[in-house]
Amino acid sequence: MKLTVKKLYKGCYASVRDYQVEKCIQKGEDLTIDFDGERMKIPLEQVKEAKAKFHNTTFKSKVGGKDYELIDFFFKPNA
């Protein structure tokens, strides 16, 4: 599954919404995150591990979508 983030949290973390991570796990796919022309691929097993360590803070959608929690991945582009 491919996602693009527009900014990095604290300059080094790609924040992904929990329902996007869950969708990736359900599909059984690795997660690919694009940021500023660079790409990072996260193996499915690491995605599953990260799902267990989310912030536990719920955010309200600004456009009327569903509420979500964020899961941060340290952004290290693949060479």
pLDDT tens profile 21-38: 999 999 999 999 999 999
pLDDT computed for residue 38 by the predictor: 96
- 64-73 average pLDDT score: 86
Domain residues for 21? 2-74
79 confidence band (pLDDT: 50, 70, 90): low
H or E stretch at 71: strand 70-74
Number of domains in the chain: 1
Cα dihedral value 31, 18, 6, 46, nearest 10:
-30
> Does the pLDDT at position 67 exceed 90?
no
54 confidence band (pLDDT: 50, 70, 90): low
pTM: 0.84
Residue 12 lies in a domain: yes
